[in-house]
Structure 1
Amino acid sequence: MKDVRKILLPMPSISNGEAALTRGYNFALRFGAHLAVLHVRPDGRDIAPLAGEGLSGAMVEDLMRTAEHESARHAHDVRALFDKFVAEHPDLVLVSGHDPIPMTGPSVSFKVVRGTEADIIPSQARLSDFTLVPHPDSGEEISSSETLHAVLFDSGRPVVMASRTPPKGLIKRVCIGWNGTAESSAALHGALAWAATAEAVRVLHCDDYQRRGPSAKEVLEYLAIHGIKADAVEFPPVDRDVGKGLLAACKDFDADMLAMGAYSHSRLRQLILGGVTRHVLEHADIAVLMSR
């Protein structure tokens, strides 16, 4: 995928929102693309069926009011952050309502939709070139992030996890984690947009990570067909941990982005036993592109 025209950025709250907006702005600037910021606002009434037995009607109504108040607060805060960011970046064309999206140059829009993230975001992602998600580092395990996993498993499109802190400049150095699987192939294809204009690209592979499929050498040949020069480096696990070794190799390369397949093993297995995907999600401090 070399031509990026639409980027979806779901923002459930302002947590790590500035970093995600900055990365989204950089992407829109780089590709002359449209950044569609989406806030899914939960409906307080949806809590009623979940309240369970043993609660009085007054208690359920109180829970609904509290949920609606929190929903309104998050929507207000996200919109305020968005407006402030757009005001600071006048080169972004703000598209409102049903106005047509410019065919050239970076543009941005903001939309609020009521419903559940797990339903709405994957649906919107299916008509986006990729989805950028804020780093889900908000006190819970990143590997359980609903937004990130909803896009990974239900959209059929790549997802990019932004870093925790606002990035400085464009992505220039790209690593591709390769293990021969269909998942890593999807990530490789998604990474072409960045690899095609990067100043350096490296394919990272490891015997303990490799599955049945093409070799790293064949990946270099494929990239060369696309006019992309890259090298391949075999990295060792660190403390017998492939994920830790992969991130260490990215750091050695001074990478701005890592592209990799997600959950070659089942998500449940990785949640229980750990795995490369889980380690990268929880410890990466660079942009990470993942595909299923």
Structure 2
Amino acid sequence: MKDVRKILLPLPSISNGEAALIRGYNFARRFGAHLAVLHVRPDGRDIAPMAGEGLSGAMVEDLMRSAEHESARHAHEVHQLFEQFAATHPDIQVVPPRSPFPWDEPSMSFNILSGAESEIVPAHARLSDFTLVPHPDSGEEVSSSETLHAVLFDSGRPVVIAPRTPPQGLIKRVCIGWNGTAESSSALRGALAWALTADAVRVLHCEDYQRRGPKARDVLDYLSFHGIKADAVAFNPVDRDVGKGLLAACKDFDADMLAMGAYSHSRLRQLILGGVTRHVLEHADLTVLMSR
């Protein structure tokens, strides 16, 4: 992926939303792309089937009213955040959703849809060059993590995870975590958009991380076909943790972005036993591109 024209930014709530908007704004300006900000409101009627699970009609109605009130609050907060951001960044044009977008000029739109987020967001992601998501902090905003995984598993497109804190400047130093898998190959392809204009690119590999497939030196050959000069550096696990070692190697390189494959092992296994993907999601403080 080298030519970025449309970036999807789903905002379930305002949690980590400002940092994601700033990163999306930087991307839109860098690529002359359109940033499509999307908020999905849950449909309170989805609660109705619970009436057959031991809840009375009155209890279900109360739950529906409560869900609707909470949904309206989130939608208002997210829309207000977008409006405030647009007002302080007048150099990027705001256009209505589904309208003709200015060609090769940065623009933004905001849209609210109702339904199941796990269905609507991946559907829109399939017709976006990549999806940018707020950092999926565990705790209050579990839905952010659900959005991330829905796009990872159901869109066929890369996901870029914004850092928790508002980033400064453009992405200039890119790390590519390589282990020879199809997932890391997909992430490599997605990272080309940034690697082509980066000041420095590094391929990170580790014996404990490598699977059957091409080696890091083969990645350097592939990048050279795209006119990208890079080096390859082996890293070691830290405290026997490959994910910790990978992030430490990114820090040593002063990287702005890490591109890596996601869930080479099953998600269930990683949730139970831990894994590189899980560690990076929980501890990364830089922009991360993941792909399956």
Q: Normalising TM by the smaller chain, what interval?
A: over 0.9
Partner of 1:44: 44
Matched-pair contact (CA < 8 Å) for 1:271–1:278 = yes
1:82 CA drift (Å): 0.1
Of 94-103 and 159-168, more deviation after overlay is shown by 94-103
Asked if 1:215 corresponds to 2:215, the answer is yes
Partner of 2:248: 248
Cα pair distance change 1:94/1:48, threshold 3 Å: same
Cα pair distance change 1:89/1:198, threshold 3 Å: same
In the alignment, the residues of structure 1 paired with residue 138 and residue 265 of structure 2 have an alpha-carbon distance, to the nearest angstrom, of: 26
The 4+ residue runs of structure 1 with deviation greater than 6 A are 141-144
Partner of 1:198: 198
Partner of 1:168: 168
Letter of the structure 1 residue corresponding to residue 43 of structure 2: D
Partner of 2:148: 148
In the alignment, the residues of structure 2 paired with residue 152 and residue 190 of structure 1 have an alpha-carbon distance, to the nearest angstrom, of: 13
User: Number of paired residues?
Assistant: 292
Deviations 1:112-149 (A, max 9, x none): 00001110000000000000000111516979921000
Q: Where does the alignment leave 5 or more consecutive residues of structure 1 unmatched?
A: none
Q: Where does the alignment leave 5 or more consecutive residues of structure 2 unmatched?
A: none
Compute the TM-score of the two structures, normalised by the length of structure 2: 0.97
In the alignment, the residues of structure 1 paired with residue 185 and residue 118 of structure 2 have an alpha-carbon distance, to the nearest angstrom, of: 25
In the alignment, the residues of structure 2 paired with residue 287 and residue 19 of structure 1 have an alpha-carbon distance, to the nearest angstrom, of: 11
Deviations 1:255-286 (A, max 9, x none): 11000000111111111111000100111011
Q: Give me the CA root mean square deviation.
A: 1.4
1:50 CA drift (Å): 3.6
Matched-pair contact (CA < 8 Å) for 2:50–2:60 = no
1:56 CA drift (Å): 1.6
Tell me the secondary structure at the aligned position of residue 68 of structure 1.
helix
Partner of 1:84: 84
Cα pair distance change 1:143/1:239, threshold 3 Å: farther
In the alignment, the residues of structure 1 paired with residue 142 and residue 196 of structure 2 have an alpha-carbon distance, to the nearest angstrom, of: 30
Tell me the secondary structure at the aligned position of residue 193 of structure 2.
helix
Partner of 1:289: 289
In the alignment, the residues of structure 2 paired with residue 82 and residue 112 of structure 1 have an alpha-carbon distance, to the nearest angstrom, of: 12
Matched-pair contact (CA < 8 Å) for 2:135–2:144 = no
In the alignment, the residues of structure 2 paired with residue 260 and residue 99 of structure 1 have an alpha-carbon distance, to the nearest angstrom, of: 34
Cα pair distance change 1:8/1:239, threshold 3 Å: same
